[in-house]
Amino acid sequence: MFASRHLQLLLIVLALCSVGCGSDSEGAGDVDIEDLLFPTGQEISNNFTLVQEALKTCMLSQGFEYELRALPSDAAEYRTFPRLNSLTAEEVAEEGLGFALPAQSHLDPNAAIGAALGEDERREWIEAYFRCQPAAEEAVNGEYNETIFALRSSYDDLIAQFTADANAAALEAEWATCMRAQGFDRTPSSFAEFAQYYLDEYNRFASNPSSGEDFQAGLDELLEIERQAGLAAVKCADPIRDAYSALWTEYQQDFAEGADVPSIPQ
């Protein structure tokens, strides 16, 4: 399923990635690099708890109360762009392209702590928080972040090579021709640009939201537009899906074999 909106801008180029279809024992060609580089929702949730615990320890050491926050369920996964050869009719029928989905609200238990403090104490609490939060993140994830960000940078280079491949471009052009025949006359040759258009439409809507029922009605309308576009994209992706995946497998194999990917702290 598509993940939460919180990281929806993460690496547009991931739109061109393939979905792997096996385990490590089946060979690097069957490994989905995104599975290696981006943690699962459960891993993110576990890691968030570790950081929260370190943050609470820091706050207590400075004389302030702190209540552990829960990670909202819609923030517990990375959002990468929908990928051309991994779209399914089932996912699209439920979530469109994954952009026009309502974020889940959540309460911060520390709001009550702040409300009970006087103005000066509240300011001191906030100052302590902004000292402790980055310190907790560094203590838990510092080494991991340094390594994983470097690997993701190398991955960007790999995707740039893939997108420049004439065969990949030809397959996307075939997809775009099909989309135009389906009535999507302005479909660009790049699927990433196609997905970006719908993300931009959502961002324009969300930057000037209405309230209450009007907001939900607008969101529902955008979601239906995404569904229609997504279903057409699935239909047009079907004829090129295998060739596109096979080509990406060739590119990702060397990277998957040589990448020493750390696990996010749990």
Residue 183 has what DSSP assignment?
Answer: T
- Render each residue's pLDDT in the chain as its tens digit; 266 residues: 333 333 332 332 333 333 333 333 334 345 577 777 888 778 888 899 999 999 999 999 999 999 998 876 555 555 556 677 778 899 899 888 888 876 655 568 888 888 889 999 999 999 999 999 999 999 999 999 999 888 888 888 888 888 889 999 999 999 999 999 999 988 888 888 898 899 899 888 887 766 667 888 888 999 999 999 999 999 999 999 999 989 988 888 877 777 778 888 98
Q: Is the dihedral of CA 148, 192, 100, 234 positive or negative?
A: negative
Strand-pair partners of 10: 80
Residues 6+ apart with CB under 8 A from 157: none
Q: Name the helix (H) or strand (E) containing 94.
A: helix 89-95
- Domains of the chain, by residue range, sit at 5-92+102-258
Burial of 17 (0-12, 13-18, 19+ CB in 10 A): buried
Neighbours of 182 (CB within 10 A): 16
Burial class (CB in 10 A: 0-12, 13-18, 19+), 165: middle
| Count of beta carbons in the 10 Å neighbourhood of residue 169 | 14
pLDDT for 39: 83
127: closest CA among 192, 78, 58, 182? 58
Tokens 């820091």 belong to residue? 58
